Chains A and B, each alone.
Chain A
Amino acid sequence: MKGTNLGELEELILLTVGILYKEAYGVAVMDEIEKQTGRSLNISAVHAVLQRLEEKGLATSKMSEPTGERGGRRKRIFFLTASGKKALAEANELRNQLFNQIPKVALGSLKFEV
């Protein structure tokens, strides 16, 4: 899908959804991001982004089985769609391409193997 530019947070959450395959719901995404990046997001922000991703077609959601701990309420589990996966891959590739073009001199002492 041309023109779907992923925002920074959107990409982050989309990646997390990928990581948490089959377990990706609001609280879990929030926890995972905190664990991996140290950023503590508010649950409503996470929900907002997840909805946006779904609207853009990069993710899709399904209701899970009812769980006892949430008073019998079901969770909404998110999955990557084909276009979501593609968007992530493209974004990643683009970033690497650009990074590799930075002259060694500018990077200074940073030595990176890509």
Chain B
Amino acid sequence: MTELGQALVFGVLAGSVYGLMATGLTLTFGVMKIVNMAQGALLIFSAYLCYTLWARFGIDPLLGGFIVTVPLAVLGVVLYKLVIQRVQRIDQGLTIVATFALALIAEAAIALAWGPNPAAATPRYFNQAFRIGSLTVPRAQFYTCLLAVGVTLALQAILKRTWLGHAITAAAENPEGARLVGVEPARVGAWIFAIATASTAFGGAAISFLYQFTPDSQDVWIGLTLSVIVLGGLGSVPGAFAAGLLLGVAEAITSTYISVRWAAAVPTLPILVALLIRPQGLLARATRQDTGT
């Protein structure tokens, strides 16, 4: 019983972070129908930035995450303006190839800047834990879980309650209509990329002290975040959070009861299953499909 309880605690803590990491990806897909294959590289990039802030200046990685949002937002806008917007004009279907190329370029650039060796920040609390009864709650994971919930709620509030959020939703559902009422989809696109990459900074901060990472770990993280958004229904922020929790728990239970090595297969297996059985994701709603024709 304790073993299961412990697996659930670990699973929920890790899963909330998975949800956080995938928010950027699900936002760009939901609004712009772009799968940003560079999401993993962006996560690793912000992890290295947080790591460097911690190693050089002793800035706590959680705080570092907030600082890193600024350069990442700028990077997001630059990528959108320089690459994405152009490729969209050439062939929408090629945007995924372009972002895949960006991921490889970013991985190479990170390797050149930081070297190929594994890195991990070790703030004071990284191996401390709270104890609740017989359950262990690692402090680092607990803090990132709080951060994940906070950021997801904040993003949800932006999308549902602000003018920008409404503009984003409008541009997503009907670009022509949005243009008619003065919402320029291209400008909204820049905002979306800024928000998506900025939110990635928090995911990177979490990676920087929860996991060891190398430049090529981007491959693992893009696989995991893709899995999260496929399960959650492409485009849905709450869906991504729920799917993240589900994956985290599934992974924890697999490592507890089957094998740690097979736990590595947990993120990718659901992609195949979900897409074969329920391609619209776990939490997607039915929408009109005939408006496009």
A and B: real partners?
A: no
Chain A interface residues toward B at CB < 8 A: none
Interface residues of B (CB under 8 A from A): none
